[in-house]
Structure 1
Amino acid sequence: MDVETSNKETTGVGDAEVVIDENKESEIIEPKVGTMFNSVDEIYDFFRNYGYHMGFPVKKRTTKKSIDGILRYVTFTCGRAGKGESSSNNLVKPPTCQIGCKVKLTASLCGENKWRINTVNLEHNHGLCPSQAAYFRCNWQFGKNKKMKPEGGSRGANENVSNMERECKSCSEIETLLQLGEGDAFAMQEFFMKMQTRSKDFFYSMDLDEDGRLRNAFWADGRSREAYKEFGEVVYLDTSFLANKYNIQLTSFVGVNHHGNLTLFGCGLVSSGDTGTYVWLFRTWMECMSNRAPEGIITDQDTAIKIAVEVVFPTIRHQWCLYHLMKKMPEKLGELYDSISTSLQEVVYDTQSPTEFEQSWNELVEKHGLHHDEWLTGLYNGRDRWVPCFVKSNFWAGISATKRDDSINSFFDGFVNSKTTLKKFFVEQYDKALKSEVEKESQLDFRSFAKTVPCITTYEMEKQVQRVYTISKFKEFQKELTGKMYCDVISIQEGFMVSEYHIREDIVIGEAKKRMRFTISFQKNDCEVNCSCLMFQFGGILCRHAIYVLIRNDIMLLPDSYILSRWRKDVRRYYTRVKINDSWSATPEQLQYDELCLAFAKLAHWVAGDKESCRHVLEWINNQKTTLATKRLSCESNPAQK
């Protein structure tokens, strides 16, 4: 390909050249017998580009080599060619996309390094859809068309799928399948059928190749889907487990519940780590969650995942997991890590602004001669995705580590390891993991309502939080409240509307003691307080520095804006009533909920055909909703009435 100008391209098609203006729609060139090309790849790109504009997928069907091992003949077909039956032994065989389409292009080697189109058949036996062409797998993996755009119409850095695809470190032409062991496929099929029979809200999807063989799978139970509605602002993508010797990666979407524990939003089995795989996984998960995107997602530092997030979630925040990055440091830096670990952690964890971080980082690099370390350079270039002072200004539900001793566990810790077969996972371990989550949450709910952690101060705000927050979140607040004893005011700048406090805190890190400074702004009229540590913005718990300033200004109760609903113990959450397994013992509340659902379903069946009866029932329901809502508000304002 020869570039003529800065905004035009020349694409070689045989001996003729067609000029394509990037500011106009590309001209569609129909394949013709006798057209010459310089390579097989050039033919494929040309035919794929034609298929992209017309609206059908393209694949390489056959290749032939001569006795001397030189490739001399190729056949490209429509992606819907071939028979619909799969010869795979995989028992999971959903519908195939193959319907016997006869569209075909053949070419052969003609002279030295020249390829000639020999035959062309462009008569499809199915409809074409140019508007959906970007979704065909061939256009994700090998796209070079500059008109391709990702879902959502995002422009700028996300302008085209093919450009982002090139950023991926590897993009193999060999399609990867799930390598299932003995009994795995049957166990998966049984699991999906059983779960779907138990609940109409169970969701699953499978990604198949052109021969109907399984590449990837995703599923989510009804409880997970409802939990996402409650706690789906921030999602953590856990890719830390490889399930069994076949190297199948178990990927989990998780969030944080009102106790600060992990809660499941769905699972996937993926056969490879390329961009196309994650695009499929993210899109399928979004479909499952009614296309409601999270506000932020946390993943490992991975180029393929990064590109997939930009394609599927072009507007959300994307953070790299700091915990996993810091765990990689000793391995990536080798012997050097021991000599710089303390300084490195101070730069990462203790800097409070992007400017301060960049200055400290550059000093560290200069001091230790790290300018040419490619891995560190890559981290620095992506600093807005992982350094605490860059990410803490937004809410992350406290998921990602921002302190030296923070860590992130996996949802399936203790239930899955490198020796776990998929058969065992589907038959036993998945149910056990979910049951463990439900039981743990139920116990914590009961504990938060039945027990009280004593206050250790006389401040009213401690009693205020004690009444409404779960025990785990109350303890976090209590730690900050008592931690204010280590804070002291250095200076105060009084303003007409806003006062600025400079506070010093004595901190102990291991055996080392240090003093750090924080800046807090306080608007007395609105009772709004903001600290440079950004703890509330990041984790939803007010920090000791802000508490210090509030109390100093005689604010003895937290303003409502600093009491988050997601941490409250007195909020009724729908997902807790959703059963996953019929063998689990249901709580009295779940039994009553099921009984009511059955009764309302029968009532709806009876009155749906009578407009007047339907109106009367709806009026009665609305009246009951109003009465119960009033009663609930009264109980929340006066807990003694409960």
Structure 2
Amino acid sequence: MKHRSHSNFHRSIEGKSLMVQFGQAGLKPSQIKKAVNTMKTSNVADVTSKQCADVLSEQRKQHKGKEFYGLIKHFQDKTLVDSDQYFVVDLSDDGYPRNIFWADGRSRDAYTKFRDVVVFDVTYMTNKFKMPFAPFTGVNHHGQSILFGGALLENEKEESFEWLFEHFLKCMFNKYPKAVITDQDKAMRNAIKKVFPKTRHRFCSWHIMKHETEHLRSYVSHYSDFQETHKQWVNSDTIEQFEATWEVMRSKYELENNSWITDMYNQRIHWAKPFLKDTFFAGMTTTGRSESINSFFDGYVNSRTMLNEFVVQYDKAVESRRAAEEDEDFKTMNSRPVLSSVHPIEAKAGQCYTRKMFETFKKEWTEAITNLTHETKGKTTEESTYRVGQLDVDKKYWRIVTFRSLDQVSVTCSCAKYETNGILCKHSLYVMKKKHVKELPSHYILPRWTLSVRYKLGSASIGLGKMNNENGVSAYTLWCVRSNFTKLIEQARDSPSEIQKVNTILISLLDDQTNRKKSTSLENISQGSCMGVSQIDMMSQLSVRDPLGPSTTKGRPKVASRIRSSLEAPKKRTCSYCQGLGHYTTSCSKRKSDESLEET
């Protein structure tokens, strides 16, 4: 016999608490129902999806109008355990939040090691206010995606991007990213040019290919050889080849009439391979990294996620990413590489690279020792030049490799894999083996692909002399000193005598600083992570309001849990009868018209 109370589990404190916890973990009501029914006692009636949805709705109502307050409270609480956290809000004159940016201490630490390439993309709806989520994504030493910081934006206008990039730069110790990959958005491009003038800006190759299909369809249908010529132009190996092929195309196909391809030619330094061979991109050519991050968040947030819930879920997603990184660290430290040969070049790579990056190297090495051959182009006492490739591949696709071995071994290849990916290509490795190089030269092993850059708590032992500038102590130096100071206290806290010793030294140093004629400028401190803390402290004294409402974004659907990235965009309907877009054969008016004519 069941008591009436047995059917009211969803109304009990225990039941509601359980459902809210699962809801905060990103589960849908149907998923919560299954989880709760599995965990509860047998004499309690099963809960339904509607009951779960009602509990979540009731919980959300309690936070109505207080979402932004909850978001700030979350960052205030985090600051107590992470003094290096950075958080800033852009408020309107009326006190409404417009743009929000944050990055925790570990993300900032990661940026100091992996700022060589940053992917920035805005494709994600995260909450009922429809504020686009804009993550800054990088690549770690295992080739995994990592987050440098996150932002919620009011819109996708140039001034919003400028505000965001300026604060990203302040957060990251005024260290510019060396390269950034984005789509072709004009507002984003202009903001990058203003705020990151020293950064190499690359357009996402996938977006360009997508637009090529749209804008060049008429040329492909009118000229039988256009597609092949265009392919040769895009895949040009040198700048000279690129420019020569362009002149042929421009004249032969009258491309001046096509404003899109002319505009793309004018912006060639942002996407054409010959112009990007001197820049490291960690093997990336698209914003797929950012979009994969967005997909990763699908398990945690949806279009109804409240602002205060989103930042909690963001942290959970980031922790999951970091756990995966630590797993790879563990594998590298506790396993031996599986070698495909007994050559010392491969053995050295196995010792130095992380396991994931060694697998990348091994593919190149295996190709080098099994599938390649060469022709000698020229030889002097100082250098040798070879054309390297596969016998079954046309020689026009072979690569030019130059080898020198005066002071140290130097090898360059026309494919520029090392320059762009940071791993020696098979062509270079083939020549090094042929020239009897006994060991992989250390200057070809990038530290960013080794365990030397793995995250260690309180490991900011940077060469301070190198980090200062003519204007005084840099924000980065202050951050490093503070990290080391925190580490010192943590190590001495279990010994009263050691803590007393630290305190005595500090008092002495403070006295010295007090006696200095020129005190340290407060501005230098505010450029570090303290800026984020002071911002939060000030925010708690304001009349905190939620955003005004759903923001207007570029080409966004009115209803969407997540904005579909371009890589996931559904294909347009194409009629197999008339080749028209937007319908199928079953609803084709031309087919129906033709059939009716045949009947008559």
TM range (shorter): 0.5 to 0.7
CA distance in 2, matches of 1:458, 1:530: 25
Helix, strand or coil at the partner of 1:266: strand
| Greater RCO, CA 8 A, separation 6+ | 2
- Are 1:493 and 2:388 counterparts? no
* Number of the residue aligned with 1:188: 71
Judge conservation of contact 1:240–1:410 (CA < 8 Å) in 2.
no
- Mapped to 2, the partners of 1:503 and 1:333 lie a distance apart of 34
Indicate the percent of aligned positions where both proteins have the same amino acid. 31
CA–CA distance in structure 2, aligned partners of residues 498 and 203 of structure 1: 51
Offset, 1:505: 3.5
2:87 is aligned with 1:204: yes
Alignment of 1:410-425 (within 5 A): 410-416=292-298, 419=303, 421-423=305-307
Q: Which has the higher strand share?
A: 1
Post-superposition CA distance 1:382-434 (Å, at most 9, x none): 111111221121222223259xxx87643232214763534375254202211
Deviation of 1:479 (Å): 0.7
Residue 529 in structure 1 maps to residue 424 in structure 2 = no
Q: Does 1:379 align with 2:274?
A: no
Choose which of 529, 549, 554 in structure 1 pairs with 2:431. 549
Cα shift at 1:320: 1.5
Given that residues 121 and 291 in structure 2 are in contact (C-alpha distance below 8 angstroms), is that contact kept between their aligned partners in structure 1? no
Residue deviations 1:570-599, cap 9 Å, x none? 555436989xxxxxxxxxxxx999942746
Separation in structure 2 between the aligned mates of residue 426 and residue 601 of structure 1, nearest angstrom: 40
Report the residue type matching 1:447 in the other structure: K
Letter of the 1:221 partner, please give it. Answer: D
Q: Cα–Cα, structure 1 residues 363 and 457, in superposed 2: closer, same or farther, change >3 Å? A: farther
When residues 520 and 317 of structure 1 are mapped into structure 2, their CA distance, relative to the original with a 3 A threshold, is same
Give the letter aligned to residue 596 of structure 1: Q
The question of whether the paired residues in 2 share the 8 Å contact of 1:226 and 1:575 is answered with no
SS across alignment from 1:499: strand
Distance 2:252 2:308 in 1: 52
Following superposition, the deviation at residue 468 of structure 1 comes to: 1.4
How far, CA to CA, are the matches of 1:422 and 1:314 in structure 2? Answer: 36
Q: Distance in 1 between the 2:126 and 2:377 partners?
A: 57
Match of 2:240 in 1: 355
Q: Secondary structure at the match of 1:555?
A: coil
**Partner of residue 604, structure 1:** 502
C-alpha displacement of 1:366: 5.1
What's the RMSD between the two structures over aligned residues?
A: 3.3
Distance (Å, rounded) in 1 between the aligned partners of 2:84 and 2:420 = 32
Residue of structure 1 equivalent to 2:112: 229
Select the residue among 220, 234, 249 that pairs with 2:103: 220
AA matched with 1:234: V
**Measured at CA, do residues 358 and 314 of structure 1 come closer, stay the same or move farther in structure 2, by a change above 3 Å?**
same
* Partner SS for 1:608: helix
Question: Secondary structure of 1:523's partner?
Answer: strand
Aligned residue number for residue 477 of structure 1: 361
Could you say if the C-alpha distance between residues 209 and 442 of structure 1 is closer, same or farther in structure 2, counting changes exceeding 3 Å? same
Partner of 1:48: none
Describe how 1:585-624 pairs up with structure 2 within 5 A.
Answer: 595-596=490-491, 598=493, 603-610=501-508
Give the superposition deviation at 1:187: 3.6
* Matching residue of 1:449: 333
Name the SS of the counterpart of 2:257 in structure 1: coil
TM-score (norm 1): 0.59
Whose helix fraction is larger, Structure 1's or Structure 2's? 2
Q: CA deviation at 1:225?
A: 0.7
Distance change (3 Å), C-alpha of 1:604 and 1:593 = closer
**Aligned residues of 1:329 and 1:337 also touching (Cα < 8 A):** no
Which deviates more from structure 2 when the two are superposed, residues 559-568 or residues 352-361? 352-361
1:296–1:316 contact (8 Å) kept in structure 2 = yes
Deviation by residue 1:430-459 (Cα, 9 ceiling, x = unmatched): 022111111110111111122234111222
Distance in 1, Cα, partners of 2:279 & 2:207? 20
Equivalent position amino acid for 1:301 in 2:
Q
2:126 is matched with 243
Structure 2 residue aligned with 1:324, among 189, 199, 207?
A: 207
Is the partner of 1:293 in helix, strand or coil? coil
Aligned residues, how many? 415
Deviation string 1:176-195 (CA, Å, 9 cap, x unpaired) is xxxx9865423422322222
1:85-484 equivalence runs, <5 A:
184-244=67-127, 246-333=129-216, 344-348=230-234, 350-364=235-249, 368-401=253-286, 409-416=291-298, 419=303, 421-423=305-307, 426=310, 428-484=312-368
Q: Which runs of 5+ in 1 are unaligned?
A: 1-179, 579-590, 615-642
Aligned 8 A contact 1:489 1:504 in 2: yes
| Distance in structure 1 (CA, Å) of the matches to 2:502 and 2:191 | 43
Q: Which runs of 5+ in 2 are unaligned?
A: 1-62, 461-485, 513-600
What is the distance in 1 between the residues matched to 2:508 and 2:444? 49
Task: Report the residue type matching 2:85 in the other structure.
Answer: F
Q: Hey, what's the Cα distance between the residues in 2 that align with 1:424 and 1:612?
A: 40
CA distance in 2, matches of 1:268, 1:239: 10
1:559 corresponds, among 437, 441, 450, to 441
Task: Supply the distance in 2 between the matched residues of 1:481 and 1:414 (Cα, whole angstroms).
Answer: 33
Q: What is the alpha-carbon distance in structure 2 between the residues aligned to residue 182 and residue 514 of structure 1?
A: 68
